[in-house]
Amino acid sequence: MSLKAQLEVCRREYEANAEPHVVDAARCSIQVLAETSLVANAVKAGETAPLFGLRCGRGDFINLSGLINRGPVVVSFLWGDWCPFCVLELKALAAVHPEIERLGATLVALTPQARGRSSSLGSDTEPPFPILQDTGCEIAARYRIAFTVPQQVRAAYLALGYPNSAKTGSKGYVLPIPATYVLDSTGLVVLSYLDADHTTRLEPTEIIAALTYLHSANIPGRNNRWSLSDPTHGPPRP
């Protein structure tokens, strides 16, 4: 089953089990975010990715500049394991991780959630790639995708599972728009996907298609850039 199909099932189950006013608040939250300029102003394909350095749950310090020196990098911004849509995306990314590595790329995920004993995959199995804690969405802000959840729609986030500040590492309702970026070996964003609707995510097959194209062309991709923030634009196929 594709990630899109899994997300659709998850959305239907959530709406079937949630109180009507919560469902309305969730839909309103998507509309409110869509009406802002956040998606339009976010970092997209054709821009140089902002650099960052963060420590992962294993204690290692991950530096983006060091990763791109080794090859392409996939950067995924997520909410945390309290979000069922994020859990599905993480599982889908874990499934294609061997192929990402085979293509000479590195995958990292960023979340404002403080890392605890529980796995972000929703099981006892840790993901095969680093999960970095972006406290207060400081890195997400550099990518211009951080936002504060409006007061009038916070009930929907609480119903979804939004945790208290001790787990998020933030004192306020600050989250990133769930987003995926593919960077070439120069740090240029060659593929970007972000949507105000948190129930939609990039299909892992699109990530593999982008990395396959860069790998087969044996070029960093500076003249081969595209953006999936506009669903009418897709990557060239190898």
Q: Which pair of structure tokens corresponds to residue 161?
A: 């599972």
Distance CA 43, CA 160 (A): 27
What is the residue-averaged pLDDT of the chain? 86
Which one of 37-51, 103-117, 147-161 scores highest in mean pLDDT? 37-51
Decide: helix, strand or coil at residue 193. strand
Q: How far is C-alpha 57 from the chain's CA centre?
A: 17
In order of 111, 131, 195, the CA distances from 57 in angstroms are 11, 7, 27
- CB-CB contact of 229 with 44 (8 Å): yes
Q: What percent of the chain has pLDDT over 90?
A: 65
The gap between the terminal CA atoms of the chain, to the nearest Å, is: 24
On the 0-12 / 13-18 / 19+ scale of CB atoms within 10 A, 183 is buried
| Residues composing the chain | 238
**Whether residue 236 has pLDDT greater than 70:** no
| Predicted pLDDT of residue 225 | 47
Distance CA 64, CA 206 (A): 22
- 183 bridge partner residues: 73, 189
Q: Tokens 């890392």 map to which residue?
A: 115
Least confident of 152-156, 207-211, 223-227: 223-227
Distance CA 139, CA 198 (A): 19
pLDDT band per the 50, 70, 90 thresholds, residue 216: confident
- Identity at 116, one-letter amino acid code: G
| Predicted pLDDT of residue 118 | 42
Distance CA 75, CA 108 (A): 5
- 162 bridge partner residues: none
Q: What percent of the chain has pLDDT over 70?
A: 82
pTM of the model as a whole: 0.86
pLDDT band per the 50, 70, 90 thresholds, residue 124: low
**Whether residue 163 has pLDDT greater than 90:** no
Q: Which residue has the higher pLDDT, 179 or 162?
A: 179
**Whether residue 237 has pLDDT greater than 50:** no
